[in-house]
Amino acid sequence: MNGKGERKGRSPFCAIQQMTDWKRSAAALDPPIPDADIEKLLPVVEALEASFRPLQATLTPEDTVWSGPEDFS
């Protein structure tokens, strides 16, 4: 039943190299996010990324996007 369980064998650790430099990303935004606010965001976005990258690493090219109610049938 578990999506991760059924798709084991694809290493989640390959994702570590993809971790983002959030401060650089924020600096590129228009309008910018003030530095003081970025510092407050870092723990949250880093934790989210750490949770998301292993899930992302299980995707294969044949996995397509959710198409809304069509996927209910």
Partner 1 sequence: MTLLEMHDALRAKKVSSLELTNTALAAIAKENPRLNAFITVAADTARAQAQAMDAELAKGIDRGPLHGIPIAHKDLVYTKGIRTTGGSKLFENFIPDHDADIATNLANAGSVMVGKTGLHELAYGITSNNPHFGAIRNPWDTDRIPGGSSGGSAAAVAAGILPMATGTDTGGSIRIPASFCGITGLKPTFGLISKRGVMPLGWTMDHMGPLAKTVRDTAVSFHAMAGAKSGYVPPPQVDIKGLRIGLPQNYYLERIDVEVGLAVRKAIQTAAALGAQIVDVTIPDIDALNVIGRVLLLVEASSVHRGNLHRRDAFGPDVMTLLDQGRLIRAADYVDAQRLRRIYQRDFSKLWSKVDCIFTPTTPTAAPKIGQVTMKVGDSEEDVRLATTRFMRAINVLGIPALSIPCGFTQAGLPIGLQILSGPRTEDTLLRIGAAIEDATAVIGRKPRTATR
Give min distance, CB of 67 to partner 1, in A: 8
DSSP per-residue string spanning 4-28: HHHTTTS-GGGGGGG---HHHHHHT
Among 8, 10, 41, 43, binds partner 1 (CB under 8 A): 41
The verdict on 13 binding partner 1 (CB under 8 A) reads no
What are the Cα distances from residue 46, in Å, to 16, 20, 51, 52? Answer: 12, 8, 9, 10
The verdict on 40 binding partner 1 (CB under 8 A) reads yes
The verdict on 59 binding partner 1 (CB under 8 A) reads yes
Give min distance, CB of 24 to partner 1, in A: 10
